[in-house]
Amino acid sequence: MPAFEFPGGIYPPERKARSNQSQLQVAPLPALVTLPLKQHAGNAATPCVAVGDSVKVGSLIAQRDGMISASLHASVSGTVTQISNTAITIEADGLDSWHTMPSLDWRIAAPATLLERLDSSGLTGLGGAGFPTYIKAQVAEHHAIDTLVVNAAECEPYITADDLTLRSYPADVLEGAQLIARLCGAQTIIIGIEDNKPEAISALEHALPQAQHPAAIVLKVIETRYPSGSERQLIKKVLNRDVPSGGLPADVGTLCHNPGTLLAALHAVRDGEPLVERIVTLTGEAVSTPGNYWIRLGTSVASLLNGVGLMSGQLHQVIVGGPMMGNPLATLDTPVTKTTNCLIAATLAELPPAPVESPCIRCGACESVCPAQLLPQQLHWYARAENDSTLETLNLFDCIECGACSFVCPSFIPLVEDYRLAKQRIRMKQIETAKSDHAKHRFEFRQARLAREDAEKQARRQARLAQTQKPSTSTADDHSTPEVDLRSLRIAQAAAKAAVKKAEKVLARAAEKDPKQRFDDLETQLATAQENLKAAEARLANARDNAIHKDTP
Amino acid sequence: MSMMHAAQVGAAPSTAHLMRWVIVATLPGIAAMTFYFGLGVISNVLLAGLFALGAEALIVTLRQRPVRPALWDSSALLTGVLLGASLPPASPWWLIAVGVLAAVVVAKQLYGGLGHNPFNPAMVGYALLLVSFPTYMTLWSPPQPLTADTLFNQTLWAKIIGSLPPATLDALSGATPLDAFKHKGEAVLASEFWASQPLPEGTLSAWRNVALAWLIGGLVLIAKRIISWHIPVAMLGSMMLLAALFYASDPSHFASPLFHLLTGATLFGAFFIATDPVSAATSQRGKLIYGAGIGALVMIIRTFGGYPDAVAFAVLLMNLCVPLLDIYTVPRPSGHANTATHPAPKEPL
């Protein structure tokens, strides 16, 4: 099968040789771990231990909160010494005693059991965004998935964690892929890997023949070009499918996982081990023995870098993730989390600060490298001008923030930073609008309810009055034009009924589109319409009664 | 947020680097022109470059902006060099100064400086001079050997005194091939015109060789990825297509495509003027339309308009269309269906 092209892309210096020359190693056990409650996309987990509790490796220490969240487990055995709003600290006892769950056979276990296991293992994507894996695996419930894409492209410079994962555990990663493929119903597994990882490729080629069941696995070696490891770009490249704007890979029948996540999934199911450790690349010119290490979550960056020979004098900055999309650390007193794939201890000469920005000369270099085919230069212009409506028309939200545009900009404009700020500004605005809309709708609901109560009260009074004054027939002075009144009330009732129907439809469509979402605002609007309908019906009934009484003296 | 900055990893050149490369690429063209038309050419370029730096420093100071980065980015120098290279060899110093002031001060800095000028600065300067001082702007002497010291003297005279010795005007005012062909008269057939040897010997080959020298510089720029191929290819393509159509319809009255390609400012304009990124369209489709528009306008003005060459006016006219081109040539972003028409921003720039 041929590889398809995604537009744009760049060829930054790879600098991977610094960390992929040595075997995967195990970092020494930390004496203390700090486990942040939010290491994943969604809500922070809720602590379920107390200070002083003794825990084992794998003991649940914080429960997921809500649907989009992930549980957290102790990564060392020892004593809980501190629980703050954001993290749990555990002092290790050095025994490293484990608490594991029973082993499951993914080939025969019920899907619900497997999902439950992924959930209770606190598994999240280990690539970057940290999306809870059990939710991603459930996508098959409302999308037909035919292909699982294993994202082994690892296109960012410096990072070699997936490379070493594949070299060290090719068979396990493939088995993990089969496990996830079974859960989501994919019949095909495609591994997308850049051609700069020959050893990982040969390891996979050796392991492939034994792993072809139940799903067929295809290995696709692609050209090394940043950002081929971005989900959309990789799916385009290996499957020639375009993930729709604002959509998910599931919309085109695919699911994307990185090798580390698949390995962790297998460990959770086969070995009953929750997610308590991961493989991290420790690299950069400021460390003397760079390489890839199994590292317990919560280990501090400072102790890790010291362990690989940090030369503090030469250290300029530490970057979490890759140099293209990663972030510089404000302090080394930061723990490794589920999404930490790489730590770069860079010298000043290695990754110096950006030169002073100069004006954009509209050269178009950014446009030619943009993998999303946006117009970075125009986005820059409108972002600085805070022209948000035009930014949205130019599809700012399709930007994947890969940094290719900033990389080639001859004027050294921090384009991605501009886009991030603009996105944030627009999101804040949307939240504000939604809030005020919701307030307005709640107010309308209250008005409608009062009107309905009023109408019903009126109807009751009228009924009482009619009953007591049944004999007397000349009470209809105030209803001088009953026919017109009746007719307009009937129209109002029909309109209110239509409004209820419409509100129901809008809500149903929204819920179908995004079943996991709550639609408070739409519910309120529906309730308002219902109140209006009731009020209209009460008024109509009332008027009818009157008319009948009048007609039958 | 990319921490790998282009300048450090050597992946992409800086703006100043781009500008300097364009200046370097003008050298073959300037050398060829100097060879055929005398030292007036190189002195035009040097004076214009000098004036441009001076004008930039002055106006940037008046605008209370840092002077050093503005000069360092070499954009003013490039504007000066390009304008200088477009002027006739016998241009007096004040002509150059007026052109440079119009280019650097009015066309560029008064619009907000580098990156903000809607019009190509060098061509604004050139167009202003062409309409204001037509006598001086058509003083293209016939090619003469470099050693001809009369020309040298007259050129220096113009540069220093600022006027031309009256007796020499005749000697200086030769016609360019485009000029000559334009004014051949309706009754004269092209074949008769060429048979009458309308130009001094060597004129055509001199212009051809100058054009080829500009082509070399332009190809260097494309090879070094300083400019993209889109604008030159589109411009030359549309010119050649139109020229071929005209020529095929009536070879006795219209010049051949090759004549249009190798005379006048065609190749210089295609690689050095139309490719100014600031005043050109940005999307690749936009660049193709922009270049094709320039080519078509050059042919139309050359053939039916009042000026023998038309690169400056064609470029300026297409500069006017750039905002519109930018709006209507937004590429389809990945993940947007083919069928969904891509909405252009509702409000203009």
Contacts of A359 in chain B (CB under 8 A): 15, 113-116
CB-CB under 8 Å, A375 with B115: no
Question: pLDDT-derived band of residue B203, with 50, 70 and 90 as boundaries?
Answer: confident
Taking alpha carbons only, the member of A510, A519, A538, A517 closest to residue A441 is A519
Q: What is the pLDDT of residues B290-326, one digit of tens each?
A: 999 999 999 999 998 888 888 999 999 999 999 999 8
Question: pLDDT-derived band of residue B166, with 50, 70 and 90 as boundaries?
Answer: low
- Nearest Cα residue in chain A from B225: A365
Residue B347: is its pLDDT beyond 50? no
Taking alpha carbons only, the member of A126, A207, A125, A136 closest to residue A174 is A207
Residue A267: is its pLDDT beyond 90? yes
- For residue B342, what pLDDT is reported? 42
Question: pLDDT-derived band of residue A471, with 50, 70 and 90 as boundaries?
Answer: low
Q: Is B215 on the interface with A (CB under 8 A)?
A: no
Contacts of B337 in chain A (CB under 8 A): 244
Query: Which of B4, B283, B334 lies nearest to residue A12, judging by beta carbons?
Result: B4
CB-CB under 8 Å, B17 with A325: no
Q: What residue ranges in A71-229 does DSSP mark as E strands?
A: 72-73, 78-83, 87-92, 147-152, 188-194, 216-222
Interface of B with A in 222-241 (CB under 8 A): 228
Distance from CA of A530 to the nearest CA of B (A): 37
Question: pLDDT-derived band of residue A354, with 50, 70 and 90 as boundaries?
Answer: confident
- Nearest Cα residue in chain A from B323: A378
- For residue B345, what pLDDT is reported? 44
Residue type, B123: M
Q: What is the mean pLDDT of residues A199-225?
A: 93
Question: pLDDT-derived band of residue A69, with 50, 70 and 90 as boundaries?
Answer: confident
Longest dimension (CA), chain B: 71
The H or E element containing residue A256 is: strand A254-257
Q: What is the mean pLDDT of residues A142-162?
A: 93
Q: What is the mean pLDDT of residues A22-43?
A: 92
- For residue A15, what pLDDT is reported? 93
Q: What is the mean pLDDT of residues B137-157?
A: 68
Query: Which of B1, B6, B283 lies nearest to residue A375, judging by beta carbons?
Result: B283
- Nearest Cα residue in chain A from B13: A410
CB-CB under 8 Å, B8 with A368: no
Under a CB-based contact definition with an 8 Å cutoff, are residues B272 and B215 in contact?
no
State how far Cα B275 lies from the chain centre.
9
- For residue B346, what pLDDT is reported? 41
Between A516 and A328, the higher pLDDT residue: A328
Length of chain A: 553
Kindly tell me the burial class for residue A101, based on how many C-beta atoms sit within 10 Å of its own C-beta (0-12, 13-18, 19 or more).
middle
The count of CB pairs under 8 A between chains A and B is: 165
- For residue B173, what pLDDT is reported? 62
Distance from CA of B142 to the nearest CA of A (A): 38
Sheet of A87-92: strands edge to edge?
Answer: A32-36, A87-92, A78-83, A54-55
Q: Is B330 on the interface with A (CB under 8 A)?
A: yes
Question: pLDDT-derived band of residue B136, with 50, 70 and 90 as boundaries?
Answer: confident
Query: Which of A359, A394, A407 lies nearest to residue B2, judging by beta carbons?
Result: A407
Question: pLDDT-derived band of residue A260, with 50, 70 and 90 as boundaries?
Answer: very high
Residue A520: is its pLDDT beyond 60? yes
Contacts of B331 in chain A (CB under 8 A): 367, 373-375
B213: its two tokens? 């020298």
**How does strand A72-73 pair with strand A54-55?**
unpaired
The H or E element containing residue A294 is: strand A291-296
Is pTM beyond 0.90? Reply is no
Between A58 and A128, the higher pLDDT residue: A58
Q: Is B340 on the interface with A (CB under 8 A)?
A: no
Q: What is the pLDDT of residues B53-87, one digit of tens each?
A: 999 999 999 999 999 988 988 999 999 999 999 99
- For residue A405, what pLDDT is reported? 93
Residue A515: is its pLDDT beyond 60? no
Residue B10: is its pLDDT beyond 80? no
Neighbour tally for B308: CB within 10 Å: 19
- Nearest Cα residue in chain B from A158: B4
Residue A293: is its pLDDT beyond 90? yes
Query: Considering just the CA atoms, what is the radius of gyration of chain B in Å?
Result: 21
Question: pLDDT-derived band of residue B341, with 50, 70 and 90 as boundaries?
Answer: very low
- For residue A33, what pLDDT is reported? 96
Of all residues in chain B, the percent with pLDDT exceeding 90 is 55
Between B309 and A192, the higher pLDDT residue: A192
Question: pLDDT-derived band of residue B344, with 50, 70 and 90 as boundaries?
Answer: very low
Residue with tokens 């280019």: B103
- Nearest Cα residue in chain B from A361: B115
- Nearest Cα residue in chain A from B230: A364
- For residue B183, what pLDDT is reported? 78
Q: What is the mean pLDDT of residues A466-483?
A: 58
Query: Which of A364, A375, A404 lies nearest to residue B277, judging by beta carbons?
Result: A364
Query: Which of A358, A363, A408 lies nearest to residue B11, judging by beta carbons?
Result: A408
Q: Is B280 on the interface with A (CB under 8 A)?
A: yes
CB-CB under 8 Å, A406 with B1: yes
Query: Which of A358, A373, A401 lies nearest to residue B333, judging by beta carbons?
Result: A373
Q: What is the mean pLDDT of residues A216-225?
A: 94
Contacts of B18 in chain A (CB under 8 A): 361, 363, 410
Interface of B with A in 100-129 (CB under 8 A): 113-116
Distance from CA of A412 to the nearest CA of B (A): 7
- For residue B109, what pLDDT is reported? 95
Query: Which of B6, B114, B335 lies nearest to residue A359, judging by beta carbons?
Result: B114
Neighbour tally for A478: CB within 10 Å: 6
Contacts of B332 in chain A (CB under 8 A): 373
Question: pLDDT-derived band of residue A414, with 50, 70 and 90 as boundaries?
Answer: very high
Residue B249: is its pLDDT beyond 50? yes
Contacts of A319 in chain B (CB under 8 A): 3
